Amino acid sequence: MNAFVGIGLVLGCVILGYLMEHGNLSVLYQPAELVIIGGAAVGALVISLPGKLLILVLRDIKKIFIHKSPTKDDFINLLVLLYDLCSKVRREGILSLENDIEEPEKSDIFRKHKEVIEDHEVMDFLRDNFRVIVMGVQTNDVAEILEIDLECSRREAMISPQSLARTADALPGLGIVAAVMGVVLTMGKISEPPAVLGASIGAALVGTFLGVLLCYGFVGPMATNLEFKVKQKEVYFNVIKTALQHFENSPIVVIEMARREIPSLDRPSFKEFEDIKSKWKTKKE
């Protein structure tokens, strides 16, 4: 939602300011300039990325408009899930989680947290690393495996924002390309009256305008948006990582450590978590 609001503000304020100075909107309507700049930018992106990574970038761009960032409720639900898993290990041993991990859709614990099952990335991270623990891997090795997993995920997740950022950096230059081509066309009209030459030069300068606007008003902020989403997802995974690293402790200690990984804006208080946990227990009974 914020992305649509931001796009509206950028376009609205630029157009409003232009009209306040009695500008003629028809002069800004230069589809050929947009084709040159936009097409060249997309082409450069295609050249720079292998096929699989290009698909990844296109998929991630959708997240700017439809992906919801983790909220306090999401973190509370995650903590409750981790608490339930830790409690089961405390009661029945680590091997008791084997069936839950292999068939989460049939697990009484995971079925209470459908939003986790639906997020395949989170579910894969949970299952892969719980398998490691069930296999009896040493705690120090588990911590190292988690770090490797998270670092690999982060490198992959940063491909899209970095690619968009580089594309944004290229847009002003592509705008100059479009402007120069407009000037070349204008030179072919050198014998025309000043009014015709002025309109032609104005149309050429629109290319520079569009390149700068697309860079700083749209594509650059989109790259920043995706980068923030990567960081938010990292926080979510770090909560799980902290819980897995201290799985041998009591459930209360594990969850308290995991809770401290959550930024203050989204971190539930100890009382909030206890209240939600009590409600879950009541439902179970």
CA distance 283 to 266: 25
Each domain of the chain, given as residue ranges in start order, spans 1-21+28-285
**One-letter amino acid for residue 12 of the chain:** G
Instruction: Indicate the burial class of 78 (C-beta count within 10 angstroms; 0-12, 13-18, 19 or more).
Output: buried
Q: Where are the alpha helices (DSSP H) in 67-158?
A: 72-92, 98-102, 108-111, 114-118, 120-134, 139-157
The pLDDT tens digits along the chain (285 residues) read 688 899 999 999 999 998 998 888 888 888 999 999 999 999 999 999 888 899 999 889 988 888 777 888 888 888 888 888 888 888 888 888 888 888 888 888 888 877 777 788 888 888 888 888 888 788 788 888 989 989 998 999 999 999 999 999 999 999 999 999 988 888 888 888 888 888 888 888 999 999 999 999 999 999 999 999 999 889 999 999 998 888 888 888 888 899 899 988 888 887 777 777 666 554 554
Chain centre distance of CA 223: 9
- CB of 284 closer than 8 Å to CB of 87: no
The DSSP code for 94 is: G
Q: How far is Cα of residue 99 from the mean position of the Cα atoms in its chain?
A: 32
Report the C-alpha gap between 144 and 245 in whole angstroms: 10
